[in-house]
Amino acid sequence: MGASEDILSLVKYYNFMFKDKKIVIGAIIILVLVLLVIIGLTWRSKNKASVPVENPLTNTTAGKLPEPEFLSVAEKNKLNISPDLKIQALGRNASGSVTVYKIIKTDSDVILDPSKIGSISPQRTSPLK
């Protein structure tokens, strides 16, 4: 019986070692995957920061403000606006036509940073009933 007990204890020892190796190998694989994800996210954030970001509201790259753009006489005529008025173009569509504009009465009315424009709501001319 001594030999069979020795063989049984040897089998138990190898089973234990094999299970232990599975755990260690699994832990190493998980650790490698976590490190790859961290490296990938770090690399992505570094590459993303180095590329200038296009601002869809102002059609400019981040950090640079566009020069104020004013309507030409032809554009004013097309929109039936008096050519004597000073009009700032704030938005254009893909074909270049003016979609948003502002009448400039004084120099302080000129908008230098189009991203700071709030929502525009119509003025109420009569009280609600």
Q: Are 89 and 101 in contact (CB under 8 A)?
A: yes
| The pLDDT value given to residue 17 | 64
Dist. CA 37–CA 42, nearest whole Å: 9
CA distance 76 to 88: 11
pLDDT at 33: 94
pLDDT digits (tens, 9 = 90+) for 71-103: 899 989 988 988 898 988 888 888 888 888 888
Most confident region among 24-28, 33-37, 102-106, 114-118 by mean pLDDT: 33-37
Instruction: Say if residue 70 is exposed, middle or buried (CB neighbours under 10 Å; 0-12, 13-18, 19+).
Output: middle
Decide if pLDDT at 129 tops 60. Answer: no
Residue ranges covered by each domain of the chain: 2-51, 60-112
**pLDDT top residue among 122 and 49:** 122
